[in-house]
Structure 1
Amino acid sequence: MLRPEQNDTFDQQIDEPTKQGGAVLCPALFISAIASGQGKTTITAGLARYHRNQGRKVRVFKTGPDYLDPLILEQAAGSPAEQLDLWMVGKKRCRHYLYEAAKDADLILIEGVMGLYDGDPSGADLAEYFGIPVAAIISAPTMAQTVGAIALGLTQYRPSLPFAGIIANTLGSDRHAELVRESMPDSIPVLGCLKKQDQLTLPQRHLGLVRPHELEDYDEKLDQIADILATAGLDTLPEPVAFHDEIEETLKVNTTQHVKSLAGVKIAIARDEAFSFIYPANLRLLERLGAELHFFSPCADEQLPEVDSLWLPGGYPELHLEKISQNLSMRESIKAFYLQGHKILAECGGMLYAQQSIVTLDNQDWPMAGLIPGIGVMRTKGGCQGMQSAALPEGELRGHAHHRSKSEETLPAITFGKRIKHPAPGEPVVRSKGLTASYLHFYFPSNQAATIRLFHPDEVLAS
C-alpha cells in the first residue's frame, strides 16, 4: 500500500484520475476474509469513513446480493453503494460500474461475500477478473502463528490473484499481534492488527446488520471505527488499478432497445421501515424505461397512490407486524387493486404481506393483505438461500433468496427458481390474476424485456 511520500505522482492519481490507453487509474482494494463473520463490513465501512473524513471521495461496492451491508457502506462513504456480481449483474455491467466510479472517485472499496474462494463465481473470481488487490481478514481470537499458514494458503491457492496483504482481527493483546506478524511469510504484508473491542462491532439481528437509520449514533460509531483502523496502520491508500469500460454493442443495444417502453406507467413501490430491500439498479432501470415511481408506506399510508402497477419488495415485515396488520385501510386498498387485475410483483417479505397472515415465533397470527392463500411462518433457521434464476413466462430473471420464514398452504407454483449449480428446485413462483409472488428478489437489469412485461399494464401475464 502506498503512503503519499512513497509515490511522486500520488496527488495526480488522487485528485484527477489519469487515463492511459482508455483506462482510468484509481486506488482500489477488495476486502475479503476466510469466512463470514470475520468483520468485512465493519472494516470496509471504517476504511470508507476514514478516507471520507480525509476529504477523499470514496465509492463502495458490495459483492453478491445484499440489501443491508450496502446501506452501511453508503452511510460510511457518503455515496451510493452498488452491487457487483459476475453472475447476477454480469461482467460487462460490473466493469462499467467500476469504470464510472473510477472516473469520479479517489478510492474504490469492494466488500466481498462469505470467504474469499466461496461461491461460483467467488469473490476471488471478481477480484482477479478486474485486477483488484485483495486484503484478506483473518479473525484470530484463538490462534497465533497459524495465521501465517492460513495466509500462505490463501495466496498460494491461486497465485494469479493480486494480493495486498492480511488484516488480523479480534486479537487479544499487543503480544498476540507480534506473534501474528512473526508468523507471516516475507511475501505477505500485514496491513493491520486489530484488537477485540466493542467499538469494532456493528449491531446485528437475525438476517444481518441493523440498518443505520435505526440508530441515532451510527455516524459516531463509524467515526470511532475509522479512528481505530487508522491507529492500527490501516490509514494508507491502496495502489491504483486501471479500470476500462466494457459497455459493448450487445449491452448498448439492450439498454436502448426498450427506451421509454414503460413511459407513462405509474408504479407504486412499498418503501418504509418494513419494506426496504430494493436494488438501486432496479429503480434506475424502471426510471430509464420511462416509468413514474410512486413510493408509499404500508405501515403509515391509508391508500395506494393512483397507479397502474405495484411492487411489494422484501424487507422486515415481521418486525412491524402490528403497524402493517392494523392498517386495515391500506390492506383493503391493495386487495381492491389486486381484484381489479392490476400487475403486482411481491418479493419475499412482500409475498408474505400478500398472503393471508404471518405467524411469529411465539405463535401470534397477524392478518395480512390476503390477496392469495398462504401463511408465512417465522422460524429460526434459513430457507432456500443463494443465487437463483426464474424462467417466468415473460423471460428469465436472475436474483437471489435469503429468508428465515416458510410459506405454507399457498398456491401451486408456476415455476421454480434454478440454482447456479445445485440440481434441487429453488424457490417456487406463484401467480394469481396480475400478481407474481415468490421468495426471490429479482435483479431487473438481468432481463429488461421481462421486467417490462411484469409491470406494463397492457402485457398479459401467462401462468
Structure 2
Amino acid sequence: MTRCPALLVAAPASGQGKTTVVAALARLHARQGRRVRVFKCGPDFLDPHWHQLASGTPVHSLDLWINGAEDCAARLHAAACDADLVLIEGVMGLFDGEPSAADLARHFGVPVLAVVDASAMAGTFGALAHGLRHYQPDLPWAGVLANRVAGERHAEMLQRGLREPADWLGALPRVALENAALLPERHLGLVAAHELPDALARLDAAADALAATPLGQMDLVELQRWAVDFPAPPDRLPVPPLLAGRTVAVARDAAFSFIYPANLDTLAQLGAQVRFFSPLAGDALPACDAVWLPGGYPELHAAQLAANRGLQDGLRAHLAADKPLWAECGGMLALFESLRLQDGSVQAMWGLLPGTAAMQARLASLGPRQLDLAGQMLRGHSFHYSTADCSAPVLVRSSRPGGADADGEPLFALGSLRASYFHAWFASNPVAVAQLLGGAA
C-alpha cells in the first residue's frame, strides 16, 4: 500500500480552465523541488504536452474503459511510489461520459477539486459548487477554485455564496500573456506546448497567479489532507516479445505528434527497437521492418509534407517489399492522393492510399472505439474534423464499447498497409499491435 496526496481536477464543463490549473499546480510544486506526476482522464494527446512540461515527467491517460481499471491502478500505484503529489485532469464536465471523471475519482478514492469559470457569476457559484459536491453523495471531495475572477470584491462575493466555507480554495484571476490567451487553442484542442517557444513562461505566469491562492500556498504537510492509498495491483503476465529483433520506424514531429507515451512503452515491452524520423524535416524513411504514422496535424503542414519526395519513395519501396505500415488518423490523411484544406484549396499528398480527404469546420467523430483484429480486441478512440473517401478494401470497422456500430471507423487494408481514423491504445492489447506491425503470431 502506497499513500500519496492526490487530486482530480474537474469542472462543470469544458473550457473552465482545468488544464491551466493542473499545469499551474504541477509547475508550482515542481519549481519547489517536489516530484509531481500528472495524468489525464480519458484519451487526449494535447493537454499532456503542457502537463509534461510543467511536471518534467511523462503523462499517461487514465480511462476505466480504454485502459481498464487494472491498468489505471498499476499506473497510479507506480506514480504514487515515486511522487510527492499526483494530479489527474478530468475530461469535459465532472459527470460527463461513460465512464466519467467522477467514476474514476470514486473508483480510486481521489478527492475532486472543482474549477469553475466564475467570470460571469456571483451567488450562483455557490449553487454550482454545492451541486458538484452533492450530486453523487459518495464522491471524494477537496473543494472548489474560482477561475477568471475580476478582483478582490468579486472573489469575496463568490466565497460568501458557498454553503460550506471549507470548500473555498481560492480565486484565480484571468491570466493572459501580452493580451493573448495563456494556452491558445485550435480545431483539435490546445496548441501543444512544444510548438510555443515561450511555453514555460506561460506556465510560470499561471503558477505565479496560483501561488497567491490558499490552494497554491499549501505545503506537503497540508496536502496530506488529500492523501490517498494506492494499493499495489496484482502481478500481470509479461508482454510477449512478439516484435523482438524488429525495428519500427515512428514518424514524430509537429505533423505527427499524437503519440501516447504508453504506446512507446508497449513497443519496447514487445521487444521492438523504435527509430523516430521527421517527415517535416525532410527525413528519409530509416531502415526498418515496420512503420507507424501516428495522428497529428498534417493539414497544417500539407505542402511541406508533399515536398518530401524521398520519404514517399521510401514508403512505396517499403510497401512493395510487403512490410507493414500502420497509419492512424492524421497519418492516414498524409497517405491519400489529396487533401482538401479548410480554405477550400486542394493539396496533393503522398498517393499511397487511393482516395481523398477533406477538412471541415464541424467535428466528424468523437468517442471511444474498439477494433477487432482477427479475434484480438484493441481499444482506443476517434476524434477528427475531416472526412475520407477511399476505395481501398475495408478489412473491419471499429465499434463503440459494448457492441456493433453502423458508423464505425473503417480499417482500410491495401497490401501490407493498414489505415484508419482509429487511435489505438497499444497497452489494451499488445498482441493486436504486434499483428498490425508484422510480429510473430
Q: Calculate the TM-score normalised by the size of structure 2.
A: 0.94
Amino acid paired to 2:254: E
State the alpha-carbon separation in 1 of the partners of residues 283 and 144 from structure 2: 52
SS in 2 for 1:103: helix
State the Cα distance separating 1:434 from its structure 2 match. 0.9
State the Cα distance separating 1:188 from its structure 2 match. 5.3
The 4+ residue runs of structure 1 with deviation greater than 4 A are: 421-424
State the alpha-carbon separation in 2 of the partners of residues 411 and 305 from structure 1: 26
State the alpha-carbon separation in 2 of the partners of residues 53 and 407 from structure 1: 45
SS in 2 for 1:374: strand
Find the counterpart in structure 2 of residue 142 from structure 1.
120
State the alpha-carbon separation in 2 of the partners of residues 176 and 395 from structure 1: 55
Find the counterpart in structure 2 of residue 114 from structure 1.
92
Find the counterpart in structure 2 of residue 268 from structure 1.
249
State the alpha-carbon separation in 2 of the partners of residues 308 and 419 from structure 1: 32
Unaligned residue ranges in structure 1 (runs of 5+): 1-22
Find the counterpart in structure 1 of residue 266 from structure 2.
285
Maintained 8 Å contact 2:22/2:87? yes
Find the counterpart in structure 1 of residue 57 from structure 2.
79
Find the counterpart in structure 1 of residue 421 from structure 2.
439
Q: What is the count of residue pairs matched by the alignment?
A: 431
Find the counterpart in structure 1 of residue 194 from structure 2.
213
Find the counterpart in structure 2 of residue 242 from structure 1.
229
State the alpha-carbon separation in 1 of the partners of residues 175 and 205 from structure 2: 11
Question: Does 1:456 find its partner at 2:434?
Answer: no
Find the counterpart in structure 2 of residue 17 from structure 1.
none
State the alpha-carbon separation in 2 of the partners of residues 193 and 134 from structure 1: 17
State the Cα distance separating 1:426 from its structure 2 match. 2.2
Question: Does 1:39 find its partner at 2:17?
Answer: yes
State the alpha-carbon separation in 2 of the partners of residues 381 and 82 from structure 1: 28
Per-residue CA distance 1:236-255 (angstroms, 9 max, x = gap): 2532111111134xxx22x2
State the Cα distance separating 1:341 from its structure 2 match. 1.7
State the alpha-carbon separation in 2 of the partners of residues 412 and 363 from structure 1: 28
Maintained 8 Å contact 1:267/1:292? yes
| 1:295-444 correspondence runs (5 A) | 295-393=276-374, 395-420=376-401, 424-444=406-426
Maintained 8 Å contact 1:334/1:369? no
Amino acid paired to 2:383: H
Unaligned residue ranges in structure 2 (runs of 5+): none
Maintained 8 Å contact 1:191/1:234? yes
Maintained 8 Å contact 1:377/1:407? yes
Amino acid paired to 1:241: V
Maintained 8 Å contact 1:265/1:456? no
State the Cα distance separating 1:112 from its structure 2 match. 0.5
Maintained 8 Å contact 1:335/1:369? no
State the alpha-carbon separation in 2 of the partners of residues 234 and 400 from structure 1: 34
Amino acid paired to 1:158: Q
Find the counterpart in structure 2 of residue 52 from structure 1.
30
Find the counterpart in structure 2 of residue 9 from structure 1.
none
Moved more, 189-198 or 80-89: 189-198
Amino acid paired to 1:400: H
State the alpha-carbon separation in 1 of the partners of residues 94 and 149 from structure 2: 21
State the Cα distance separating 1:302 from its structure 2 match. 4.4
Maintained 8 Å contact 2:159/2:165? no
State the alpha-carbon separation in 2 of the partners of residues 62 and 194 from structure 1: 22
State the alpha-carbon separation in 1 of the partners of residues 331 and 380 from structure 2: 15
State the alpha-carbon separation in 1 of the partners of residues 375 and 327 from structure 2: 16
Find the counterpart in structure 2 of residue 10 from structure 1.
none
Q: 1:172 aligns with which of 150, 172, 175?
A: 150
State the alpha-carbon separation in 2 of the partners of residues 329 and 186 from structure 1: 64
State the alpha-carbon separation in 1 of the partners of residues 360 and 190 from structure 2: 18
State the alpha-carbon separation in 1 of the partners of residues 87 and 283 from structure 2: 41
State the alpha-carbon separation in 2 of the partners of residues 244 and 269 from structure 1: 35
Maintained 8 Å contact 2:277/2:283? no
SS in 2 for 1:293: strand
Maintained 8 Å contact 2:175/2:205? no
Q: CA RMSD in A?
A: 1.6
Amino acid paired to 2:245: G
State the Cα distance separating 1:424 from its structure 2 match. 4.6
Amino acid paired to 2:64: L
SS in 1 for 2:306: helix
State the alpha-carbon separation in 2 of the partners of residues 412 and 140 from structure 1: 51
Q: How many percent identity over aligned positions?
A: 45
State the alpha-carbon separation in 2 of the partners of residues 394 and 71 from structure 1: 34
- Cα distance change on mapping 1:367 and 1:288 into 2, 3 Å: same
Find the counterpart in structure 2 of residue 64 from structure 1.
42
State the alpha-carbon separation in 2 of the partners of residues 36 and 64 from structure 1: 13
Amino acid paired to 2:87: L
Amino acid paired to 2:137: P
SS in 2 for 1:87: coil
Per-residue CA distance 1:311-346 (angstroms, 9 max, x = gap): 111011111112111111111211221222211110
Question: Does 1:156 find its partner at 2:134?
Answer: yes
SS in 1 for 2:133: helix
State the alpha-carbon separation in 1 of the partners of residues 197 and 74 from structure 2: 35
State the alpha-carbon separation in 1 of the partners of residues 439 and 338 from structure 2: 28
| 1:91-106 correspondence runs (5 A) | 91-106=69-84
State the Cα distance separating 1:366 from its structure 2 match. 1.6
Amino acid paired to 2:197: E
Amino acid paired to 2:191: V
Per-residue CA distance 1:334-380 (angstroms, 9 max, x = gap): 12212222111100000111111111122222222211212110111
State the alpha-carbon separation in 1 of the partners of residues 314 and 54 from structure 2: 38
Per-residue CA distance 1:150-202 (angstroms, 9 max, x = gap): 11111111110111011111122222211111110126511111222424731
Amino acid paired to 1:130: F
